[in-house]
């Protein structure tokens, strides 16, 4: 089963440049270079997804903090 998985992965690396224009420059390159390009692309996507997620989380926490401050001020005024 492992040999089949390795063969499928190798074939995918060789076919990918012919299916996607982004990787068309790798049509005559080795599978190692294609694998490196794919892994770089995956790392970039993961980085930007994480950055956006943290930014959105930061915005939400700022909103929560502002709401908490307003509630606290309102409570202090009532006392």
As a whole number of angstroms, the distance between CA 26 and CA 8 comes to 18
Structure tokens belonging to residue 1: 């089963």
Angstrom distance (rounded) from CA 60 to CA 27: 45
Nearest Cα to 9, choosing from 53, 48, 45, 39?
39
Across 31-42, average pLDDT = 83
**Across all residues in the chain, what is the average pLDDT?**
78
Which value, in Å, is the radius of gyration of the alpha carbons in the chain?
Answer: 24
Residue 13 pLDDT > 60: yes
Q: Count of domains in the chain? A: 1
Model pTM score: 0.51
Range of the domain at 44: 2-78
- For the residues 44-56, what does the mean pLDDT come to? 75
In the predicted model, is pLDDT for residue 77 greater than 60? no
């Amino acid at each position: 089963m492992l040999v089949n998985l390795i063969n499928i992965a190798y074939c995918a690396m060789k076919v990918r440049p012919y299916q996607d224009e982004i990787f068309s420059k790798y049509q005559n390159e080795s599978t190692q270079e294609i694998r490196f390009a794919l892994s770089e692309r995956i790392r970039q996507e993961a980085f930007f997804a994480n950055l956006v997620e943290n930014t959105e989380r930061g915005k939400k926490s700022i909103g929560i903090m502002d709401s908490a401050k307003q509630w606290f001020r309102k409570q202090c005024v009532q006392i």
